[in-house]
Structure 1
Amino acid sequence: MSAPLLSIRNLSVTFATGRGPFKAVDGVDLDVDPGELVAIVGESGSGKSVAMLAVMGLLPWTAKVTADRLTFDGRDLLALSPRERRKIIGRDLAMIFQEPMSSLNPCFTVGFQIREAMAAHLDLSRAQRQARAVELLELVGIPEPERRLRAFPHQLSGGMSQRVMIAMALACKPKLIIADEPTTALDVTIQAQILDLLLRLQRESGVGLVLITHDMGVVAETAQRVCVHYAGQQVEMQATAGLFRDPHHPYTAALLAALPERAHGRLLPSIPGVVPGLADRPKGCLFSPRCRFATERCRTVPPPRQGAELGFALCHTPLVDGAPQRKEIAA
């Protein structure tokens, strides 16, 4: 069995704030194999993006990143110097950000920004970089690529800007792409086009893909495995089919119950309350104030990590066939 392309164990990210330290990511584990598509889902504020920005080395100086293991393609990312990390980021490991209009530099043309990555990482002449940029825009479905390369970001639509971001991510033929909610700012029809494009390119090139998304429908159709995050913690990780058939963490079950196709009444079920912040984090399970299965132990004792047969659920009483396993309380 080959080693995973990306391997993370016990990743934590703590920010220094005026009110004390805040742990935005707490004990996340993740392996991604070459060519695999792994989805990360969860509410806003669950630490999905922060965890992946930590992998990319793009967090501000106020963030403290720790991990038992954080390796990419066999290299320890935490042990690399900034110069060594820059040789990997953008070439072998690329990221597509949420907001293309704020991720593209408004002062430079699209062509300059695509060619810049190639100039930094690939041994290509100016003419070869230009030809590759044209090829990339054609690949992502942008008409008149030569003219679009001369355009500035404000001259492009949101959907076209996102296609440019995908082209930039593909420029150096990376081994792994992290797509951070790549359709957030787009209308529904353009969202479908961008996702179809990204998934087609992933299948054709064999690149690994970590897809951060809120869209469980996309997850069901595309991902091999799903990681569910809540309040900075990874609360469940399962193969996609198993997660949709039998979720083991109450939060995962509540997310799936809110899908329109699973709703049985006129109103969609909702999860009461909000994700805890810095000042209101529970003493025990972070989901306990919102969980209908919570016991007194859940409210006072941090939950254990279950085994693979229970989806690595971070829960005292994981669900099986929709019912909590109360015997775990006495364990």
Structure 2
Amino acid sequence: MSLLEIRNLCVEFETRGGAFRAVDGVSLDIDPGEIVSIVGESGSGKSVAMLAVMGLLPRTAHVTADVLRFAGRDLMRLPARERRRIVGREIAMIFQEPMSSLNPCFTVGFQIGEVLKTHLGLGRAERRARTIELLGAVGIPDAERRLSAFPHQMSGGMSQRVMIAMAIACNPKLLIADEPTTALDVTIQAQILDLLVKLQQERGMALVLITHDMGVVAETAQRVIVQYAGQQVEKATTRELFRDPHHPYSAALLAALPERATTKVLPSIPGVVPGQYDRPQGCLFAPRCAHAFALCHAKAPPPAGSELSEALCHTPLVGGVPVVPGAAA
């Protein structure tokens, strides 16, 4: 049985201009001990989808789903108190900005201890010992001295390690890492990714890695979900996606990797992800797609099925060549 099951997840925000659908029909299964990456540009709804799972969206958000189940429990129907017992203990999340996610008014030791007190009910001495153990586990030297440090006294990489320590404090079954290497230099990025994979393997957690970096996906994930403008446009094993992407957006993301560049000028995707007021009538990617034809601009593609590598596209790519409906074989 899947650890996390999502079917047709939608998130709408009420705005002055009307309802805006930030997540539109996302479906996902995550098995215990699996690493799944959700990839796409900023504005693709990656973080919003996972915040909906966590129940951390503001009141202006309206969340619907045919299925939203964790470890056999229906998250849509659980009372708020029961859901709070799960979030932070069985499902944990590492947020994008460690410097703004940590409270500047409290020490690192206090903030990790608060998690242990709330979810595990540990006493003061037990919290201190466990916090030192966690800081050591995430590679922070002189862990006992760091207990009294405030966030501003730590570097970005160290702050991110503190966030990871907080997230794994209760040995969660599912860890969601939202852009865990944002604003870190390249060497620290590699260390943080290695640490996450190591902890995932040691503790048997499922790991959802939200990123826009296809290089990170190639190094860590077993399966990939590609999102664009709130929609899930392709899902595949990592090997299959890198070998033969079926959606033009997936192919464009891969083509922009420096190591895949065949010209002196690095390829890029023209335009931007559509927002509330500039959404096209047909396929949301059509204005930026090099393979779009008349039908793409006029009509939205049919929903993708559940099979791996099936793309939300009128002209899916096969071997890098678009397959146009009605074209001769």
**TM-score (ref. length: structure 1):** 0.97
Question: Where has structure 1 moved over 2 Å in runs of 4 or more?
Answer: 305-310, 327-330
Distance 1:307 1:323 in 2: 21
Tell me whether 144-153 or 36-45 shows the greater mean CA deviation: 144-153
Q: Which amino acid aligns with 1:111?
A: G
Structure 2's unaligned 5+ residue stretches are none
Structure-to-structure mapping, 1:85-234, within 5 angstroms: 85-234=83-232
Q: Which amino acid aligns with 2:284?
A: L
Shift of 1:312: 2.6
Distance 1:26 1:135 in 2: 41
Q: Could you tell me which residue of structure 1 aligns to residue 291 of structure 2?
A: 293
Q: Could you tell me which residue of structure 1 aligns to residue 252 of structure 2?
A: 254
Tell me whether 72-81 or 36-45 shows the greater mean CA deviation: 72-81
Q: Secondary structure at the match of 2:19?
A: strand
Q: Could you tell me which residue of structure 2 aligns to residue 323 of structure 1?
A: 321
Shift of 1:309: 5.5
Distance 2:152 2:220 in 1: 32
Q: Could you tell me which residue of structure 2 aligns to residue 78 of structure 1?
A: 76
Distance 1:329 1:310 in 2: 24
Structure 1's unaligned 5+ residue stretches are none
Contact between 1:159 and 1:190, CA under 8 Å: does it hold in 2?
A: yes
Q: Could you tell me which residue of structure 2 aligns to residue 20 of structure 1?
A: 18
Shift of 1:307: 4.0
Q: Secondary structure at the match of 1:210?
A: strand
Distance 1:186 1:91 in 2: 27
Q: Could you tell me which residue of structure 1 aligns to residue 237 of structure 2?
A: 239
CA offsets, 1:236-258, max 9 Å, x none? 00011000000000000111111
CA offsets, 1:148-200, max 9 Å, x none? 11111111111100000000001000000000001102111111111111111
CA offsets, 1:298-327, max 9 Å, x none? 111110134456613111111111111113
Distance 1:309 1:12, change over 3 A: closer
Shift of 1:274: 1.0
Q: Secondary structure at the match of 1:64?
A: strand
Contact between 2:248 and 2:317, CA under 8 Å: does it hold in 1?
A: yes
Q: Could you tell me which residue of structure 2 aligns to residue 57 of structure 1?
A: 55
Contact between 1:316 and 1:328, CA under 8 Å: does it hold in 2?
A: no
Distance 2:121 2:98 in 1: 27
Q: Which amino acid aligns with 2:135?
A: L
CA offsets, 1:102-157, max 9 Å, x none? 11111111111101111111143221111110000000111111111111111111
Q: Which amino acid aligns with 1:65?
A: V
Q: Secondary structure at the match of 2:164?
A: helix
Tell me whether 120-129 or 221-230 shows the greater mean CA deviation: 120-129
Distance 1:134 1:154 in 2: 19
Q: Which amino acid aligns with 1:285?
A: C
Q: Secondary structure at the match of 1:179?
A: strand
Q: Which amino acid aligns with 1:55?
A: V
Q: Which amino acid aligns with 1:271?
A: I
Asked if residue 32 in structure 1 is aligned to residue 18 in structure 2, the reply is: no
Shift of 1:329: 7.7
CA offsets, 1:26-50, max 9 Å, x none? 0001111000000010001100000
Distance 1:183 1:257 in 2: 22
Q: Which amino acid aligns with 2:14?
A: A
Distance 1:298 1:206 in 2: 43
Distance 1:63 1:259 in 2: 34
Q: Which amino acid aligns with 1:128?
A: E
Contact between 2:235 and 2:308, CA under 8 Å: does it hold in 1?
A: no
Q: Secondary structure at the match of 2:11?
A: strand
RMSD of aligned alpha carbons? 1.3
Q: Which amino acid aligns with 2:298?
A: T
Tell me whether 309-318 or 90-99 shows the greater mean CA deviation: 309-318
Distance 1:62 1:323, change over 3 A: same
Q: Secondary structure at the match of 1:90?
A: coil
Q: Which amino acid aligns with 1:305?
A: P
Q: Which amino acid aligns with 1:16?
A: E
